[in-house]
Amino acid sequence: MKATGRPTALVTGGSRGIGAATSRELAARGYRVAVNYFSNREAADQVVKLIEADGGDAFAVQADVFDPDQAAELLKRAAVDGRLDVLVCNAGARFTPTPVQTLPWDDFKRKVTDELSSVYTLTQQALAIMGARGQGRILYVSSAVADGPPTTGMAAHGTAKAALNTFARFVAYEAGPLGIKVNVVAPGFVRTEASAGMPQEFQQRLVERTPLGRVAEPEDVARAIAMLVGDDAGFVTGSVLTVDGGHGVARS
């Protein structure tokens, strides 16, 4: 991959859902996008094709972001000309909603640990690359569940995302003097392939309690991410932006 002169963005978990929408949104805004995927090369290639069909620039990069060696190599491959302007940490640890009473400690610990391990090495490597140029953006995709449970069985997920939000604030504090802004987008329920199995009754209750009258689409989150990594948010760092259509304002 040759240098193009375009700013470079890496989107982890960039082949599906929020990641795919973010990859396309950033490409539409002029970024060369490294679309990270773990196992589904076909999905990543499809995202790249859609971006290229719209006149953008992208390439697929395979890596398991939970493996420190692969994560470090991913950063090198994404920043092929030594330039990385934006890192979007979207790939998160999967989990099965389980009430605390029946949730094994090992499963809880694994979810929390994996959530942080998926971003830790990427963050360290990005700080080195971006810090050398004196500029950059790091964006973590969290969840509104960090602020409180929407339903039972979400303790592991909510705790993991709350830890991610706190980690981001500490990174923002240390990265600011390097010229790097660090922020978080925390979506509520988003209509994706991964959430398709949620009962329709649950989704309808969310709609009824959401002031904007619907649940989020991946593009809603992607536009919020693009805003935070763009120049208009140049004096914003250490912030958590909730993207839930106002659902959280009615949470008791």
- 252, pLDDT greater than 50: no
Percentage of the chain with pLDDT > 70?
A: 95
Cross-sheet strand order for the sheet of 32-37: 57-62, 32-37, 8-11, 86-89, 136-141, 180-187, 240-243
Question: Helices then strands (H, E): number in the chain?
Answer: 7, 7
Average pLDDT over residues 185-195: 83
Q: Which domains does the chain have, with CATH numbers?
A: 8-244 (3.40.50.720)
pLDDT higher than 60, residue 29: yes
29-42 average pLDDT score: 97
Q: What is the pLDDT of residue 250?
A: 67
105 by Cβ neighbours in 10 Å (0-12 / 13-18 / 19+) ranks as exposed
Write down the pLDDT at residue 198: 64
Please report the pLDDT score of residue 157 as a whole number. 95
> How much is the pTM?
0.93
Give Cβ neighbours of residue 109 (< 8 Å, ≥ 6 apart): none
Beta-ladder partners of 171: none
Could you tell me the pLDDT band of residue 75, with boundaries at 50, 70 and 90?
A: very high
- Residue 88 in this model has a pLDDT that exceeds 80: yes
Q: What sections of the chain are H helices per DSSP?
A: 17-28, 41-53, 68-78, 105-133, 155-175, 200-208, 218-229
For helices 105-133 and 155-175, what crossing angle results, to 10°?
20
How sure is the predictor about 195, in pLDDT bands with cuts at 50, 70 and 90?
A: low
Cα separations in angstroms, 73 against 47, 92, 132, 197: 22, 19, 18, 34
Residue 3 in this model has a pLDDT that exceeds 60? no
Nearest-5° angle of CA 244, CA 204, CA 224?
20
Pairwise pLDDT comparison (150 vs 45), residue with the higher score: 45
What are residue 241's phi and psi, to 5 degrees? -100, 115
Do strands 86-89 and 57-62 pair parallel, antiparallel, or not at all (unpaired)?
unpaired
Check if the beta carbon of residue 246 is closer than 8 Å to that of residue 211: yes
Q: What average pLDDT does range 165-186 have in this prediction?
A: 98
Confidence of residue 1 (pLDDT cuts 50, 70, 90): low
User: Residue 92: pLDDT above 90?
Assistant: no
Task: Report whether pLDDT(97) > 50.
Answer: yes
pLDDT, tens digit, 9 for 90 and up, residues 102-126: 999 999 999 999 999 999 999 999 9
At residue 197 the predicted structure's pLDDT band, cuts being 50, 70 and 90, is low
Average pLDDT of 22-43?
97
Residue listed under structure tokens 């969310």: 206
Tens-digit pLDDT profile for residues 135-165: 999 999 999 999 988 888 999 999 999 999 9
pLDDT at 191: 80
